[in-house]
Structures are given as C-alpha cells and as structure tokens.
Amino acid sequence: MIKYFLGFFLMITSSSLIACNNDAQDTIIKSVNDFEKDIAKVNTQILDVRTMEEYQSGHIKNALLADWTKPDEFEYRTQSLDKSKTVYVYCLSGARSLKAAEWLKAKGYMVYNLAGGMMAWKREGKPIEGINNVKQISLKEYQSQIPSDKTVLVDVGATWCPPCKKMEPIIDSLLKADGNRFVLVRINGGEQSEICKEIKIDVFPTFIIYKQGKEVWRDSGLIEAKKITASF
C-alpha cells in the first residue's frame, strides 16, 4: 500500500512538473516558422539581445538592440518598449534571450523567445539584414554639416535603439513646428562608430546644439521637446 501511494505521488508530481514546464514553454518559446509569422504582424516589437558586434554581423529586419550582457544598458533601452505590443526576443542560440524574456515578462511585457536563436534562424534559411562596408564620416565632413551662421541640432541615434525610436516623432514634430529656428542633422550612430568616438558619444540617442559652429548644449536619452527648444 505504501509503495502504491508513493508511486502515485511521484507520478502526479512528475506530471505536474512536466505540465508546468510545457505551460511555461508554450507562453515563451516560438519555433522559427511561428516566430517569422508572428513578427510579420502589426503591433509587434523585435528585440535582439546580443552584442553590437553580433548584431552588425547579421540581424532580423526591424530588430531593436539591447545587449543582455550589459544590465544597465539593457534596462535603459527596454524602458522605451511599448507594453501594449508583444515583444519577440532572440540571441545567438536562445539562452540569453530566454533569460531576457523572463526578465521582461516579470516587468509586465508579453514576450516570446526564438527557439534556437539566430543559429536556428540561419539554419532554416530565413532572411537576415546586416551592415556591410559603411563609409565612415570624418570629423571634417561632420563639421561641414554645421553652418556657423545657424543654430544646429544634431540627433545621433541608431535604427535599432528603442529610445531613439521613441524620440523620432518628437524631433519630427519639433522640426515641423520650429524648423525655421534651427537646422537638423541626423547621424546614424549605429553605423558611424568613428564619428561617435570623435565627438564622444556613447549613449543613444544623444542631442547636441551648436551655435556659431560651437557646441552649447548636449543631453541624452528621452527628452521633452521644450528642454531642447529652451537651448535654441
């Protein structure tokens, strides 16, 4: 009788653990084909949690970037994600992105992880985008875009940067409303790493205002439009 109850208990416990694990996987793991179908829908966000170097070696179209190995950077960038939209995360093999997905899920996001990561994505022959042989802007070329007789707002961001995406419509609205007061220069810092080093930028987005060809103001991250215009 004792053996019977012990066996029954172990069977129930094992079944419960399997069910729990399957439930967790059903809510967080997506196969390559399902992942691809889902990210083609509207109201989705794709998040690459690899390093910058890995991202530049090839990434999924429209993927944003937040390096999971840099906790402060990851938290800062993911703050700009929209909680009303599902987040689809991936890394190289699926391990880092699983941890990132669990972290995001705990923060209230609806999250799915790509099973097998980019390795599986490539193995299935899915499309990949990358940055190849981008001509770097020299400091002289950068300075030539800043006329000394005008107020210039430089917006340094990246296509994969969540806060940059959030600031983009704010800057566009500012340009539409006050475009006669300043010249806007946009720099893709994700591609132009050399000029970012020259002008000492390590956070995206970064905004710089020049007057008479000289820098008079600088700030980074999510900024209200009035804070920018106050420095014109």
Q: What is the CA radius of gyration of the chain?
A: 23
From the candidates 20, 91, 164, 196, which is the catalytic residue? 164
Note if 164 is an active site residue.
yes
What are the two backbone dihedrals, phi and then psi, of residue 60, each rounded to the nearest 5 degrees? Answer: -75, 140
Q: How far apart are CA 127 and CA 118, in angstroms?
A: 11
Structure tokens at 159: 């296509």
Q: How far apart are CA 47 and CA 173, in angstroms?
A: 26
| Length, in residues, of the chain | 232
Note if 161 is an active site residue.
yes
Structure tokens at 221: 């991250």
Q: How far apart are CA 154 and CA 20, in angstroms?
A: 51
SS3 (DSSP) at 223: coil
Identify whether the C-beta of residue 69 lies closer than 8 Å to the C-beta of residue 51.
yes
For tokens 């390795």, name the residue: 119
- How many helices (H) and strands (E) the chain has is answered by 10, 9
Amino acid letter, 150: K
Provide the annotated active-site residues: 161, 164
